A and B are shown apart, each in its own frame.
Chain A
């Protein structure tokens, strides 16, 4: 079974629209970490955010915000007022502190922002 599911394969939005990228994870560990990465067309993965399982506070960084809900095992990512530079593939990832040190990546969501 997939540990990290990103059901949205591709999303297109018009510039300045808000967009939410979904991430659902599965784990039995009580201590785990969630991550989002951006992979622009240039190819290099860029780290965006890390959350641990004990911190459910939502986080905002500029136009980016993250909604972590343990009740639904989701860690969704919202971009407000999207820009063309946001066009990229976004990956959600999970690591488990007790059961192993492998990172589990979702299959990614390709976001295209149309000017």
Chain B
């Protein structure tokens, strides 16, 4: 694909519901990253995938957050029992190889928890 895509672009949910956010990286990119960006804030690292495995899950804020990647392609970030403090923009990025290459970012999913 031309770039990193994310869906949905906007998600409004009620507190306590589960949500799934999807990321389609650039074809052939081995590394995939998830970040959270609260309004007016910087990027908070959540998780990183090398292929389909996640060597670094250190940024996941709680056990309500999980992510998977399949086929060395699409990734899904799942938030269970959403809380209002989960409201943020969730950004996905991919790079050809980790560390060495620049990351290309998707447009983000804006999550609002009511």
Contacts and interface: CB of A to CB of B under 8 A. Distances in A.
B91 interface: yes
Contact of B102 (A47, A101, A102, A108): A47
Interface residues of B, number: 27
Given A91-B42, A106-B42, A101 B50 contact: yes
Contacts of B98: 95, 101
Contacts of A45: 91, 93, 105
B99 interface: yes
Contacts of B102: 35, 47, 50
Contacts of A47: 102-105
Contacts of B106: 44
Chain A binding surface SS class: strand
A97 interface: yes
Given A101-B31, A101-B50, A44 B99 contact: no
A6 B104 CA distance: 21
Nearest to B58: A102
A102 B56 contact: yes
Contact of A43 (B35, B58, B89): B89
Interface string B30-48: 0101010000011101001
A100 interface: yes
B108 A44 contact: yes
Contacts of B55: 101
19 contacts: A33-B99, A35-B103, A44-B107, A50-B102, A91-B42, A97-B99, A97-B100, A100-B99, A101-B56, A101-B98, A101-B99, A102-B48, A102-B56, A102-B58, A103-B33, A104-B45, A105-B42, A107-B41, A107-B42
The 9 closest A-B pairs by CB, nearest first: A101-B98, A45-B105, A107-B42, A95-B99, A105-B43, A101-B99, A47-B102, A50-B102, A44-B107
